[in-house]
Amino acid sequence: MKLELEQDGLCLKPKQLLKVRDGGGHTVLCQSGALWLTQHGDPRDVYLGPGESFLLDRNGLTLVQALERTTVSILAPAVRAAPTAAFAKQAYATAGQMRSAFGARA
């Protein structure tokens, strides 16, 4: 999916339709207003209000329609960073504390 917005969100008028193609993994965020969306081949109808979001779980065509004046953002998939050494050390220490708390030998 290729979508570039130079602003924080896209303002839609009531009944205005946004077509998202191959957006699997992206998140639709309703910042204000109300949205209806549906994905190709998915029987669900999704309704979003202010602050609610929906993760697109498939590619193909997704229709996003404003039910009233709405601000919407399409967020790119989150990039998972590899665990750092500090994170691994903390996780190991936490696991040791849990073993101690439950009387298991470390």
pLDDT at 4: 59
Residue 68 lies inside a defined structural domain of this protein: yes
Mention every residue, 6+ apart, whose C-beta is less than 8 A from residue 24: 1, 56, 57, 58, 59
pLDDT digits (tens, 9 = 90+) for 80-96: 555 555 555 555 555 55
pLDDT digits (tens, 9 = 90+) for 44-74: 999 999 999 999 999 999 999 999 999 999 9
When divided into structural domains, the chain yields a total of: 1
Residue 91 lies inside a defined structural domain of this protein: no
Residue 28 lies inside a defined structural domain of this protein: yes
Domain span at residue 69 reads 10-75
Residue 21 lies inside a defined structural domain of this protein: yes
Mean pLDDT score across all residues of the chain: 82
pLDDT above 50: residue 10: yes
Residue written as token pair 């967020």: 75
